Structure 1
Amino acid sequence: MLVASAPLIGHVFPLLPLALALRDAGHDVLVATAADGLAAARSGLPVRDVAPAFDFGRIARGVMLRHPLVARAELAGTAGTRGAALLFGQVNDELADGMVALAQEWSPDLVVYEPFAVAGALAAARVGVPAVRHENSLFDGRELVRVTTERLTGALRRHRVATIPPPAAAIAVAPPSVATQDGWPLRYDSYAGGGELPDWLREPGDRPRVLVSRSTVAGPGGAGPMRAVVAAADRVDAEFVLVRPNGRLSRSALPANVRTVDWIPLAAALPASAALVHHGGAGSVLGALVAGVPQLATVGPGDRRFNATLAANRGAGIAAPARGITAETLSRLVTDAELAAAAVKVSREIAAMPPPAELVARIESLG
């Protein structure tokens, strides 16, 4: 089975729990991606680079220069799937040739692809095998695939594929009370990516502990809320832990209630924490919901405003721009009982969804 992902850590890691479950059931599994996505090899799965010259920054800059109005909306987080289609249409055009070549070489029985990696569905159509769409965001994957495919006419023509057919099945990871997605439900999980959890993060501290993370993608909004949290931290009765702060911030003088750590398995640290503050990525939103902890998600570029708003609308978090984070906002995050109760309720909803191993037989029936 071939697992196709966009070349980004935040895209490929959520696909790995199912990929590992398929491997553990005795299937040959190969992950197809590029660039940062090659970090999937840390999981022990074989990974193939299908676009060795891939440069996400170059693609993003080019798209923004050619489409300034959409770029402005994308930076504000209001472009929705329009911005994603422009950006990931170009991404997939660069992945398509290598993805098809790999499928022709490796002859998979089935392709699992994420909505931002339509090149995987193209490869499946080219070699005539079923494809399964595996959601890894909070967008509607059907719409994402539709609008991205509209930008792939050149790749479709190159590989003599008239159109990308509907998937043989789809897998939905969003809890229904937060977002509606089409497909078999799957309990959200994500490969941790390595790192060790220090002992002091395994148990609650003397004060509420708030983890503060940032994006794994460089670019606008990538630094996330860390500087704003540091500026307000000494006026909040809580302990703040900055996860992977940039070099300048980690070398600066920090308040007494702020600590730093390098890469850690965030999901393992969340149960002993009171809250998570993050950049608004879908994986971070879902990770906090899985753990049942309140979250503060910053509204920002790409899908971040959309994701943060979903968490806030569900009552399980706060959506705010980084510059709007104050001591009062952070105090509410760790003291608001309604936020905590809603987060726990969604966590129970997710826990009732099937784990990856329970989907293996259904996927086998397609191949």
Structure 2
Amino acid sequence: MRVLFTTIPEKSHLFCLTPLAWAMRAAGHEVRVASCAELVDVIAATGMTAVATGRNDGISEAMTANRQSQEEWEEASWNELDPAKLTYEGELERIQLAAYGSAMYNEPMLDDLVEFARSWQPDLVVWDPLTYAGPIAAGAVGAAHARSLCFADVWVMKRQLFRKLAADVAVEQRRDPLADWLGARAEELGGTFTEEFATGQLTIDPLPDSLAIATDARRTPMRFVPYNGPAVVPDWLRAPPERTRICMSLGASNTERYGGDYVSKGSILEALAELDAEVVAALLPAQTAELGPLPDNVRVVESVPLHALLPSCSLLIHHGGFGSYANALVYGVPQLTVTTPVADQLYRGAGLEEQRAGLLLPHDLATPDAVFDRVSTILGDADFRQQAGRLRDEAVARPAPAEVVPVLEELVEERRTAPWRTA
């Protein structure tokens, strides 16, 4: 069968989809991976066949112009799931902002994605959880579609809670910005909004049950398989570390999209000089350029593959991104999450803390001393390593991507249908 993967133009989202795309292709299926033109070279480097669907050159400029959104916009935080702490008005504002942001990502690629789907006729569309163009393209050609997570599923749980809150609001006062936007775009093609636009006909969840969110959406588990882009293992990484090794990785999105990191890298690295440990700072060239003189125990590296580095580490300090978090999870490495409150990052960091597999430190409290204290706590208590190992065992026990292929083949048999038709 023909399988179309699609993602917004974010490398980290693409990398989470890549192992399943490999598995579908290895099983004999035709695979295409579609995103905006600026991502096609990165897609091609994964070994997959890329399809350019529109351009989104303005997204970085827009995000940099709204850098404060990660720190100051309560509506950008999706971490609170306690119904007693939520209101209809507050969740409506959150969904309004999310629909606006999602449209900025999806609208530039939507028409071209539908056009390609109509010409190529996929049987299945697998979409990143923020790529709402995916289910619309699937409906336009009658393809089955599945949503593959690269977050904890706060998006669907929040939507479920919002709909419950809306039930207590007068019908004439209810609003649903996500349904309004996607419904209007589907109507242009002869379709009608359903909740499957938000949940997929199936949700593929890589998180172990101890950390996942049990929504009402139909779900199937899948093991997270690390992929960090084309990689070469450096010579220094071939030998076992001579002392405790710590990795600090702050990801790419804050630098590339928001104009810089939200913590002081140099000050934190200086504070860690007091440890009897090797600190490997895995940074982008732009991040490295911001550093001054560093302590002797700090090794700054660029483009090192986390999946090769982390097995030798006793701790990962990171910014809350899903790729860093999930890489450490499957290698049983305790984590110190130093993050802004955007998206689900506090939720995932708190989940590790509750499981005693790591600690959470909001970025505005991340002084060098606070980071040092928490690093010392994790390294000084063997239970963190033990509990991280327990979560690793739970994570890698989930079905490999190859084992999920038959589940998706069955979904196609069950849900392939006639395409939408305009009047």
The two structures have a TM-score, normalised by structure 1, of: 0.89
Letter in 2 for 1:119: A
Instruction: Flag the 1:214–1:233 CA change in 2: closer, same or farther, 3 A.
Output: same
Residue identity (%): 30
Change (3 A) 1:348 1:216: same
Report if aligned partners of 1:212, 1:278 keep a CA contact under 8 Å in 2: yes
Matched, 1:295 2:335: yes
Find 1:277's aligned residue among 317, 340, 343: 317
- 3-state secondary structure, aligned to 2:73: helix
AA in 1 matched with 2:133: A
Q: Residue 152 of structure 1: SS of its match in structure 2?
A: helix
**Following the alignment from structure 1 to structure 2, what is the Cα–Cα distance between the partners of residues 178 and 219?**
28
**Match of 1:196, as an amino acid?**
V
Aligned to 2:244: 208
User: How far apart are 1:145 and its partner, in Å?
Assistant: 7.9
Give the alignment of 1:84-103 within 5 angstroms. Answer: 84-103=98-117
Say what the alpha-carbon RMSD is for the aligned residues. 2.8
Aligned 1:166-205 pairs, distance under 5 A: 166=196, 167-181=200-214, 182=217, 183-205=219-241
* Contact 1:131–1:168 (8 Å) recurs in 2: yes
**1:210-249 map, 5 Å:** 210-217=246-253, 218-220=256-258, 222-223=260-261, 225=263, 226-247=265-286, 249=288
Q: Please, what TM-score do these two structures have when normalized by structure 2?
A: 0.78
Q: Which amino acid aligns with 1:253?
A: P
Q: Which has the higher contact order (CA 8 A, sep 6+)?
A: 2
User: Are 1:40 and 1:47, in contact at CA under 8 Å, matched by a contact in 2?
Assistant: yes
Report matched runs for 1:13-28 at 5 Å. Answer: 13-28=15-30
The corresponding residue for 1:131 is 145
Change beyond 3 A, Cα 1:141–1:135: farther
Of the three residues 10, 16, 26, the one matched with 1:8 is 10
Counterpart of 1:319?
A: 360
Shift of 1:77: 7.3
1:40 aligns with 2:43: yes
Letter of the 1:174 counterpart: L
Note if contact 2:357-2:384 (Cα within 8 Å) is conserved in structure 1.
Answer: yes
Distance, in Å, in 2 between the alignment partners of 1:330 and 1:353 is 30
Unpaired segments ≥5 residues, structure 1: none
In the alignment, structure 2 segments of 5+ residues that lack a partner are: 82-93, 161-176, 413-423
Q: Distance in 1 between matches of 2:355 and 2:70?
A: 31
The one-letter code matched in structure 2 to 1:73 is E
CA distance in 2, matches of 1:190, 1:40: 16
**2:302 equivalent to 1:262:** yes
Match of 1:51 in 2: 54
Give the Cα separation in 1 of the matches to 2:110 and 2:231: 32
Q: Write the distance in 2 (CA, Å) between the matches of 1:320 and 1:36.
A: 34
Q: SS at 2:33's partner residue? A: strand
Tell me which residue corresponds to 1:161: 191
Deviations 1:285-319 (A, max 9, x none): 11111110101111204222232222222221111
Can you list the C-alpha shifts for 1:156-189, whole angstroms capped at 9, x where unaligned?
3433321146233221111110122451110012
Q: Please, which of 118, 122, 134 is the counterpart of residue 120 of structure 1?
A: 134
